[in-house]
Structure 1
Amino acid sequence: MDATFWATVALVLFLALIFYMKVPGTVGKSLDARAEKIKAELEEARRLREEAQQLLAEYQRKRKEAEKEAAEIVEHAKREAGQLVAEAKQKTEDYVTRRAALAEQKIGQAERDAVNEVRARAVDIAVEAARTVLAGKVDQKVGGELFKSSLDALKTRLN
């Protein structure tokens, strides 16, 4: 009996033992379980990918809406700023107009006051000059009466 015979017998016994212990079935079940696990992982990955694509689409939509809203806010702010500028310009023009009118009134009043003061001074000078001239020509009693009557006449004219 040679070694080949014993190697063949050992191989046959080994194969019989493997089949007796149902190793091919166990290996098959193990491979099937592993295939099922891989299939479930692939299905989960596909589901997660679809969910991620949906979330991405939703976030892109929200980003577009936010950009649109931001653009509307900026446009609204620009309109308000334009209105505020126009309103401020109008108020400034009104203020300048009122101040100019007030200044014109003050200037007019100052002119009237100056004219009245010049008139009063002119009357005082005229009265003094008349008194001096009349004092030299008329006696004091007649001069005093003339002065009083002239002064009364002048006062009635001014009032």
Structure 2
Amino acid sequence: MPDILTILAAAEDGKAVPAAFGVQDYQWVSLAMLVLIGVFVWKKVPGLITGGLDSKIAEIKQQLDEAKTLRAEAEGLRNEYAAKIASAEQDAEKMMEGAQREADAILDKAKADGEAMVRRRKKMAEDKIAAAERDAVAGVKAKAVEAATSASRTLIADRHSSDADTQLADQVIGSL
């Protein structure tokens, strides 16, 4: 039996190549192709291949549809959260404005209360000073009255006699 290299070399030289069962090598290739095609047709391989491809296509379409749905949901959530963030920012801004107004109102009230307290304290101090002045004036007047009565007694005692008293009493009665 010749080896494969010998057969190949002979085929290149154009010499006759031995054939098995009287069939040439190109005929064996054709026969193998026919058998293969026959098996494919008999086993419905093209249908299986197209069926497999169709099921794979359907699965990919389903995955794409699911991805589109998920993307739409994600965009909806993103828009919802963007709106919530914008709303939260507006609420925060309003809260800051309200807090600023409250702080300004508290400062204004504190100023007004402080000024009112200063006025009250000033009034109280002025009232105390006026009361002290009145007390001092009353004290001075009392001392002056005391000094005047004491001086009057002394003067009357020194200058008036009983005759002068009688004469003074007569003058007063006569003027009435």
Q: TM-score, normalised by structure 2?
A: 0.65
1:55 CA drift (Å) = 1.6
Task: Point out where structure 2 has 5 or more consecutive residues left out of the alignment.
Answer: 1-22, 159-176
Task: Point out where structure 1 has 5 or more consecutive residues left out of the alignment.
Answer: 139-159
Q: Are positions 1:67 and 2:89 aligned together?
A: yes
1:123 CA drift (Å) = 6.2
1:117 CA drift (Å) = 3.9
Corresponding residue number in structure 2 for 1:40: 62
The equivalences for 1:48-67 within 5 A come to 48-67=70-89
Paired AA for residue 108 in structure 2: A
- CA RMSD after TM alignment: 2.6
Paired AA for residue 106 in structure 2: L
For 1:130 and 1:18, how far apart are their aligned partners in 2? Answer: 160
Aligned counterpart in structure 2 of residue 10 of structure 1, from 32, 52, 71: 32
For 1:50 and 1:123, how far apart are their aligned partners in 2? Answer: 107
Structure with larger RCO (C-alpha < 8 A, sep 6+): 1
Aligned length: 136
1:97 CA drift (Å) = 0.6
Q: Are positions 1:20 and 2:20 aligned together?
A: no
1:101 CA drift (Å) = 0.5
Pick the structure with more helix per residue. 1
Structure 1 stretches of 4+ moved >6 Å: 123-131
1:25 CA drift (Å) = 0.8
Q: Are positions 1:91 and 2:113 aligned together?
A: yes
For 1:29 and 1:59, how far apart are their aligned partners in 2? Answer: 44
For 1:23 and 1:119, how far apart are their aligned partners in 2? Answer: 140
For 1:46 and 1:121, how far apart are their aligned partners in 2? Answer: 110
How big is each residue's C-alpha offset from its partner over 1:61-81, in whole Å with a ceiling of 9 and x where there is no partner? 222222222222222222222
Aligned counterpart in structure 2 of residue 80 of structure 1, from 95, 102, 109: 102
Q: Are positions 1:100 and 2:122 aligned together?
A: yes
Bigger shift: 121-130 or 109-118?
121-130
Corresponding residue number in structure 2 for 1:29: 51
The equivalences for 1:115-130 within 5 A come to 115-119=137-141
1:27 CA drift (Å) = 0.7
> Which structure has the bigger radius of gyration?
2
1:50 CA drift (Å) = 1.5
For 2:143 and 2:24, how far apart are their aligned partners in 1? Answer: 164
- Percent identity, please: 39
Paired AA for residue 101 in structure 2: R
For 1:18 and 1:93, how far apart are their aligned partners in 2? Answer: 107
For 2:36 and 2:88, how far apart are their aligned partners in 1? Answer: 73
